[in-house]
């Protein structure tokens, strides 16, 4: 148990659906991250939030929309996804957005787009 929880753990959605992934951290951290882990690529950083402000957006398609309402919660809103978006989506948090701070990962949401 890392102190980072994600819901749902599994999600199946059609290409026309809208859904949201939720991440919550109970560690008092100031930085939160979304990563995508697909079968054929290394773990890819999608978004970084530091003190509720987005500080990195790695050329992610607009069908993924992050939201960070406070430092404990991070959402990833999904809209008109493609089958190639099927992957494990991992949330992480760290004390601050600096290299020295360890990132703690949640268990991930396994997303399947049909």
Partner 1 sequence: GEDVEQSLFLSVREGDSSVINCTYTDSSSTYLYWYKQEPGAGLQLLTYIFSNMDMKQDQRLTVLLNKKDKHLSLRIADTQTGDSAIYFCAETSSNTGRRALTFGSGTRLQVQP
Nearer to partner 1, 23 or 78 (CB): 23
**66 lines the binding site for partner 1 (CB under 8 A):** no
Which is closer to partner 1, CB of 66 or CB of 106? 106
Closest-CA residue to 4 (of 22, 19, 20) = 22
Q: Dig out the tokens for 28 from the structure.
A: 């008092």
Quick check: 19 binds partner 1 (CB under 8 A)? no
* Number of shown-chain residues binding partner 1 (CB under 8 A): 23
- At closest approach, how far in Å is the CB of 6 from partner 1? 8
Residue 33 is a binding residue for partner 1 (CB under 8 A): yes
Nearer to partner 1, 58 or 82 (CB): 58
Residue with tokens 């360890």: 102
Q: Quickly count: other Cβ atoms within 10 Å of residue 76's Cβ.
A: 23
94, 102 contact by CB (below 8 A): yes
Angle at 35 between CA 29 and CA 36, to 5 degrees: 160
Inter-residue long-range contacts of 51-54, CB under 8 Å, 24+ positions, other chains counted: none
Interface mask (CB under 8 A) for partner 1, residues 84-113, using x and -? ------x-x----xxxx-xxxxxxx-----
Q: Which residues bind partner 1 (CB under 8 A)?
A: 2, 4, 6, 33, 41-43, 45, 48, 56, 90, 92, 97-100, 102-108
């Amino acid at each position: 148990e890392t102190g980072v929880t994600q819901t749902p753990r599994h999600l199946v959605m059609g290409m026309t659906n809208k859904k949201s992934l939720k991440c919550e951290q109970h560690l008092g951290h100031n930085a939160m991250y979304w990563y995508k882990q697909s079968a054929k690529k290394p773990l890819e950083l999608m978004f970084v939030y530091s003190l509720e402000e987005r500080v990195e957006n790695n050329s992610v398609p607009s069908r993924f929309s992050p939201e960070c309402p406070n430092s404990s919660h991070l959402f990833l809103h999904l809209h008109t996804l493609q089958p190639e978006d099927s992957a494990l989506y991992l949330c992480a948090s760290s004390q601050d957005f600096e290299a020295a701070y360890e990132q703690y990962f949640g268990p991930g949401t396994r997303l399947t787009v049909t």
